[in-house]
Structure 1
Amino acid sequence: MLHSISLDVRQAEFLALVGSNGAGKTTLLRTLSGLLPIGSGTLEWEGRAIGGLTPDAIFRQGIVQVPEGRQLFPRMSVRDNLLMGAYRRDDQAGVRADLDRVYGLFPRLAERRRQLAGSMSGGEQQMCAMARALMARPRLLLVDEMSLGLAPIIVDQLMETLTAIRDQGVTILLVEQDIHLALAAADRAYVLETGRIVREGPARDLIADPELKRAYLGV
Structure 2
Amino acid sequence: MSAAAKKGQAPLLKVADLGAGYGGMPVLRNVSLEVHKAEIVALVGGNGAGKTTLLRALSRVIAATGKIEFSGRDLVPMTSDEAFASGLVQVPEGRQLFDRMTVEDNLLMGAYRRSDKAAVERDLKRIYGLFPRLGERKKQLAGSMSGGEQQMCAMARGLMAAPVLLMIDEMSLGLAPVVVEQLMAVLGTIRDEGVTILLVEQDVHLALSGADRGYVMETGHIVHRGAAKELIDDPEVRRAYLGL
Confirm or deny: 8 A CA contact 1:183 1:204 kept in the other structure. yes
Match of 1:128 in 2: 153
Q: What's the secondary structure of 1:5's corresponding residue? A: strand
* 2:95 is the counterpart of 1:62: no
Match of 2:55 in 1: 29
TM score, norm. by length of structure 1: 0.99
Q: 122, 147, 153: which is aligned to 2:178?
A: 153
Match of 1:163 in 2: 188
Runs of 4+ with >6 A deviation: none
User: How far apart, in 1, do the equivalents of 2:62 and 2:227 lie?
Assistant: 28
Q: 96, 115, 122: which is aligned to 2:140?
A: 115
Q: 114, 118, 121: which is aligned to 1:93?
A: 118
Confirm or deny: 8 A CA contact 1:15 1:188 kept in the other structure. yes
User: How far apart, in 2, do the equivalents of 1:16 and 1:36 lie?
Assistant: 22
Match of 2:37 in 1: 11
* 2:213 is the counterpart of 1:188: yes
Q: What's the secondary structure of 2:28's corresponding residue? A: coil
Q: What's the secondary structure of 1:7's corresponding residue? A: strand
| Number of residues of Structure 1 aligned to a counterpart in Structure 2 | 218
Q: Which amino acid aligns with 1:10?
A: H
Q: Which amino acid aligns with 1:126?
A: Q
Confirm or deny: 8 A CA contact 1:145 1:175 kept in the other structure. yes
User: How far apart, in 2, do the equivalents of 1:68 and 1:115 lie?
Assistant: 22
Q: What's the secondary structure of 2:31's corresponding residue? A: coil
Structure 1 unaligned spans of 5+:
none
User: How far apart, in 1, do the equivalents of 2:126 and 2:225 lie?
Assistant: 33
User: How far apart, in 2, do the equivalents of 1:18 and 1:195 lie?
Assistant: 12
Q: Which amino acid aligns with 2:36?
A: R
Match of 1:203 in 2: 228
Higher strand share: 2
Q: Which amino acid aligns with 2:38?
A: A
Q: Which amino acid aligns with 1:68?
A: E
TM score, norm. by length of structure 2: 0.89
User: How far apart, in 2, do the equivalents of 1:212 and 1:92 lie?
Assistant: 47
Q: Which amino acid aligns with 2:59?
A: S
Confirm or deny: 8 A CA contact 1:37 1:52 kept in the other structure. no
Match of 1:20 in 2: 46
User: How far apart, in 2, do the equivalents of 1:33 and 1:41 lie?
Assistant: 14
Structure 2 unaligned spans of 5+:
1-26
